[in-house]
Amino acid sequence: MLLADFGTTYCKILDTEQDAAPRILPSRELPPDFRADLATGHNARHRSKQALNELIALARGGRRLVREESFVLLDCGSRDLKFVRFAKGRVADMGWNTECGASMGFTVELLAAYYHLDYATMRVPQGGFSVTCGVLGMSQIFDAVVAGASEEDAVACFVRGIARNAWRFAGNPDRLHLSGGLCDNPLFLACLPCEVQPLGRFVLLEGLKECLPDDPSSLQ
């Protein structure tokens, strides 16, 4: 069965009968006729036989991967932020932020390419910008550079601001499980003011696995 997490900039795909591990493909390279059996993500309804809400996929993926009764799981995507809080094995709270989380992951990737930066070698800044939107927050980078800051330091302050905003959105937890592409960003992880457990980019696919029907032919 073909499963897909249709992200804004990247698609995560798993063929349960052929793939040993999920594949990542830039969304712009996805063939126009590609169609999954079961999918989640912003384009799932148009590209799959059956679509699952992203928050539900996140919650089920978290329950599948995290061996704890109570925890907070935050998904930082290219375009938005989503979190699920479990208490005593049940979903106690969840949220989805498409406005104040706008394009944070995408902007972080864009800045690294534009300024030729390596987040693995950048230092965590002592202070940071107040960032609630990735796109609008870029103006603070430009202002800081004009004022004499290095491009690397300005972007680091921006990333710290994004990390703190995401943490507050998840409810200021002492411990956080993280999903999404920013799991691979060492600077972002170091800027989160709590204990962090990165789960990687395939948590929503794990949630789809929880929803696989006994009879695949039922997905029509």
Under the banding of pLDDT at 50, 70 and 90, the label for residue 218 is low
Is the model's pLDDT at 127 over the cut of 80? Answer: yes
| Region 43-59 average pLDDT | 95
pTM confidence score: 0.91
Phi, psi dihedrals of residue 93, rounded to the nearest 5°: -165, 155
Query: Right CATH number for 81-201 from 3.40.50.1820, 3.30.420.40, 3.30.365.10, 3.50.50.60?
Result: 3.30.420.40
Residue 63, helix vs strand vs coil? helix
Higher-scoring residue by pLDDT: 131, 147: 147
Is the model's pLDDT at 116 over the cut of 70? Answer: yes
Contact 156, 187 (CB under 8 A): yes
Identify the pLDDT of residue 77. 85
Q: In Å, what is the CA distance from 119 to each residue of 25, 31, 151, 200? A: 22, 31, 13, 17
Two domains, one topology: 2-66+204-218 and 81-201: yes
Residue from 182, 154, 195 nearest 9 by CA = 182
Residue from 38, 89, 33, 80 nearest 59 by CA = 89
Is the model's pLDDT at 109 over the cut of 60? Answer: yes
Amino acid at 112: A
Domain locations along the chain: 2-66+204-218, 81-201
Domain range 2-66+204-218, CATH class = alpha beta
At 132-181, the pLDDT tens digits run: 777 778 899 999 999 999 999 999 999 999 999 999 999 999 999 999 99
| Region 47-51 average pLDDT | 95
Is the model's pLDDT at 121 over the cut of 80? Answer: yes
Is the model's pLDDT at 214 over the cut of 80? Answer: no
